Amino acid sequence: MALAVRIGGEIVNYDSVQVYRGFDIGSAKPSAEEREAVPHHLIDVANADEPFDAAEFAARAKVACDEITRRGRRPVLVGGTGFYLRALLSGLPELPGRDEALRARIRAIWDAPRGARRLWLLLERIDPLTAGRLAPADRHRVERALEVYFSSGRPISTWERPSAHVETLRATKFGLSLDRSELNQVLDERVRAMYARGLVEETRALLERFPATARPFQTIGYREAAAVASGTMSVSEAIQETARRTRAYAKRQMTWLRAEPGLVWVDAAKAVDEICSELGIEN
């Protein structure tokens, strides 16, 4: 936000959970006051039961960036879903579209006893590369990989993925770094704060409006909070598991960022004014 203020920018979100209405606490969505202080885009643009993927994000983000630029301002893209950002900057392969009938059959298998395991084992047989990248519980991606295979006859791993080395849009990229022990402490505190603010209660209310199979309920924090709501996990167990998954995700994010060419690292422990001074950005 400080950067956006200094350069006359508007923030374009690329967090894959903040796009969903109502999923506020678990995604650390900016407050109404923050959104009033600096214009934000692509927050609260979809319901949990609506399809929203990297292709949809890239299309909407391109429109938002173009509109911001036409107003003489600068788009500042902010988030942690690296695949969404890469989809915008580099484009996506032309994967087969959604096949609702096929998807319904795959979902029915998943919902059957031991269905999730059966589908992952099927994916492992037809596309071991993709199966090796996905957890068996990653419902959305396992189902999509099978849908692509049965729609096209080709494993999803054979379709070209967007590359960080071939960008059609020019951008200056910054990555935030923090000492690992300090980062883990911050993450653990963030998780405890989310539950203290009412993550379980927010999740219960959302489960009354949307099916438990909706994509955002599979994300970090909401999956554990949904387990508390269903009585299969205690709050203390949920906090512990959410913290573990959050730390693991942060580690994967760092691995992703290290592969980004031309990325400028920023020490997140420094004061905002000091960071902006080092980057040559004045008030």
pLDDT of residue 98: 76
Q: Do residues 220 and 245 touch, judged by C-beta distance below 8 A? A: yes
pLDDT of residue 164: 52
SS3 of residue 40 by DSSP: strand
The span from the CA of 12 to the CA of 68, in Å, is 10
Closest CA to 62 of 43, 75, 79: 75
pLDDT of residue 283: 62
pLDDT in tens, the chain (283 residues): 988 999 999 999 999 999 999 999 999 999 999 999 999 999 999 999 998 988 899 999 999 999 999 999 999 999 989 889 988 998 876 677 778 889 889 989 988 999 989 999 999 999 998 888 887 888 888 988 999 899 888 888 887 565 555 566 788 899 999 999 999 999 999 999 999 999 999 999 999 999 998 999 999 999 999 999 999 999 999 999 999 999 999 998 898 898 888 899 999 999 988 988 888 887 6
The span from the CA of 113 to the CA of 66, in Å, is 48
The span from the CA of 81 to the CA of 61, in Å, is 13
Q: Do residues 175 and 266 touch, judged by C-beta distance below 8 A? A: yes
- DSSP 3-state percent helix, strand, coil across the chain (nearest 5): 55, 10, 35
How many C-beta neighbours within 10 Å does residue 21 have? 18
DSSP-assigned beta bridge partners for residue 242: none
- Phi/psi of residue 28, each to 5°? 50, 45
Domains annotated for the chain, with CATH where assigned, are 2-93+162-278 (3.40.50.300), 100-158 (1.10.20.140)
What predicted TM-score, i.e. pTM, was given to this entire model?
Answer: 0.79
